[in-house]
Amino acid sequence: MSSRQATQAPGSGSVRNAVYVYGIVPADVQAEEHASGIGDPPCDIQVVRHGEVGALISEIAVDRPLGTPDDLIAHARLVDGAAAVTPVLPLRFGAVLTDLDEVENELLDAHHDEFRAALEELEGRAQFVIKGRYVEKNILREVLDENSEAARLREKIRDKSEDATRDLRMQLGEIINQTIEAKRAEDTRQVIDALETLEPVVNKREPTNEEDAVHVAVLIELSRQRDLEETLAQLAEEWDGRVEMSLLGPMAAYDFVAKQKTEG
């Protein structure tokens, strides 16, 4: 098997007593010389191997508190950087084991075949997250142009106090929310249909904002990244002024793998 590199920003430093695990990778992965993880200064990254699988780890002080914003960023940066060059099964943030023997025996050995099969499924693939956000004033205008009842209610409350039109405003808000929900479903379907030739695995995510138009994660071949970008650029052009599109990735396949629940 060829040697691969788990990429990450430069850093140095390591501490003892416990082992933080970032994710599971093929056993042929080699940590880059300056790969680093959580901590200040950042911890050095090592690979613990067993059979055909390995774990990206760093040593940390057993009493070190976890969960700072910098830790979360460092964890994601390491795992996503590795995912750009090799399959990765990301573990949840904060996965800590007692020592290297426990990583090898209780994690890698105990789940070896499961991890190997999952990594084989991810070979050459990575996750991307597609996000679209409606332009508020334009989507509102679209709703009012298409829905006569919404337009009627809007006229009735125009230039009137909130107290005097409270019920009408609630009715209008409900119509707008329901209409945007329907538009979100249709626009999401349109994005997924546009990506059909890329043969993606798709996970529809819940909206994080009432103005979300699209929020999906897709698992595709890394070799098709340019095709993905071009398809979304075409959609963004068609929706110019209506939906603001963004693309995140490549990243680890968070939405498409069952993360091992490692006890700390």
pLDDT at 9: 38
Lowest mean pLDDT among 2-11, 12-21, 225-234: 2-11
Lowest mean pLDDT among 30-34, 44-48, 79-83, 171-175: 30-34
pLDDT at 118: 94
Q: How much of the chain, in percent, has pLDDT values that exceed 70?
A: 91
Tokens of 252: 């680890």
Q: What would the pLDDT profile of 166-190 be if each residue is shown by its tens digit? A: 888 899 889 999 999 999 999 999 9
Across residues 54-81, what is the average pLDDT? 90
Using pLDDT thresholds of 50, 70 and 90, give the confidence band for residue 160.
confident
Which amino acid, 180? I
**Rounded to an integer, what is the distance from CA 67 to the centroid of its chain?**
18
Using pLDDT thresholds of 50, 70 and 90, give the confidence band for residue 20.
very high
Residues ≥6 apart with Cβ < 8 Å to 188? 204, 213, 214, 215, 216
Given a cut of 80, whether residue 256 has pLDDT beyond it is yes
pLDDT at 182: 95
What's the whole-number average pLDDT of the chain? 88
Span 126-251 CATH architecture: 2-Layer Sandwich (3.30)
Most confidently predicted of 105-119, 163-177, 245-259: 105-119
Distance CA(174)–CA(170), nearest Å, equals 6
- Other beta carbons within 10 Å of 252: 27
Beta-bridge partners for 136? none
pLDDT at 16: 58
Using pLDDT thresholds of 50, 70 and 90, give the confidence band for residue 258.
low
Distance CA(252)–CA(264), nearest Å, equals 22
pLDDT at 164: 78
SS3 assignment, position 157: helix
Name the residue ranges covered by the structural domains of the chain: 4-123, 126-251
Q: How much of the chain, in percent, has pLDDT values that exceed 90?
A: 67
Given a cut of 80, whether residue 85 has pLDDT beyond it is yes
